[in-house]
């Protein structure tokens, strides 16, 4: 991602995240190699409400920010604003945005462009289509851990094993997407490469 676009993206995230927002996600062609100055910058914003977004004051504020940044950076910006029930959106589209997009903000996280305490992270999205069911479950257990229950003489014993993502100080963000500190990437990549799956890595920064 080139510097002018990077600044636009993170300025949008910082300004919009001051409102009651659940997620801000960048998606579309700007994340692909074919991105050019003519490409729209697409944002997916999930309001922290179940109300109709058109009735929420945040909508006009977000669109105002979008318009301001369009003028400042001379780029076309498209914003999809929805609520946390994803009303009027197809499940497939929502899953695609979370799976292929870049999560710029999630509730309880903050992103600031010029803050010295920014910590480098990577967002990783992966595709398990080439794996059979057994391999998929094995990899998911390795990445995110698992819980087992055993009964013995009317007692239930629960065993929980944390996954690699948690051990590497990461967290799951959405369907097929998680983030980890960049310094832990090498350990994670060795596991993904062992399963020979397709994945992509995008650099970002997390405040605090």
Please give the model's pTM, rounded to 2 decimal places. 0.55
Residue in 69, 87, 86 with CA at minimum distance from that of residue 78: 69
Adjacency order of strands within the sheet including 102-106: 77-82, 41-47, 21-27, 102-106
Q: How far is the CA of 123 from the CAs of 52, 57, 85, 185, in angstroms?
A: 30, 31, 24, 10
Residue 135 pLDDT more than 80?
yes
Residue in 187, 183, 188, 184 with CA at minimum distance from that of residue 199: 188
Percent of the chain scored above 90 by pLDDT?
A: 43
Domains of the chain: 3-106 (3.30.460.10), 120-205 (no CATH)
CA distance 24 to 132: 32
Reported as a single tens digit per residue, the pLDDT across 37-88 is 678 899 999 999 999 999 999 999 999 999 999 999 999 999 999 998 888 8
Residue 191 pLDDT more than 70?
yes
Residue 92 φ/ψ region, left for φ over 0, alpha for ψ in the -120 to 50 degree band, beta for the rest: alpha
Q: Which two three-digit tokens encode residue 14?
A: 């910082």
């Amino acid at each position: 991602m080139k510097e002018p676009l990077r600044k636009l993206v993170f300025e949008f995230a910082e300004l919009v995240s001051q409102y009651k927002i659940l997620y801000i996600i960048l998606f579309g062609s700007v994340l692909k190699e074919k991105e050019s100055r003519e490409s729209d910058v697409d944002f997916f914003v999930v309001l922290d409400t179940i109300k109709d977004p058109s009735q929420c004051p945040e909508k006009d504020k977000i669109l105002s920010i979008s318009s301001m940044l369009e003028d400042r950076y001379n780029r076309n910006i498209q914003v999809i604003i929805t609520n946390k029930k994803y009303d009027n959106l197809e499940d497939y589209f929502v899953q695609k945005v979370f799976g292929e997009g870049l999560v710029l903000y999630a509730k309880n996280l903050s992103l600031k462009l010029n803050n010295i305490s920014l910590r480098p992270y990577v967002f990783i999205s992966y595709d398990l289509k080439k794996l059979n069911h057994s391999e998929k479950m094995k990899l998911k257990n390795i990445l995110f851990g698992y819980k087992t229950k055993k009964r013995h003489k009317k007692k239930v014993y629960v065993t929980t094993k944390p996954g690699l993502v948690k051990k590497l100080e990461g967290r799951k963000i959405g369907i097929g997407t998680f983030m980890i500190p960049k310094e832990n990437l090498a350990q994670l990549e060795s596991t993904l490469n062992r399963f020979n799956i397709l994945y992509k890595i995008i650099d970002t920064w997390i405040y605090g």
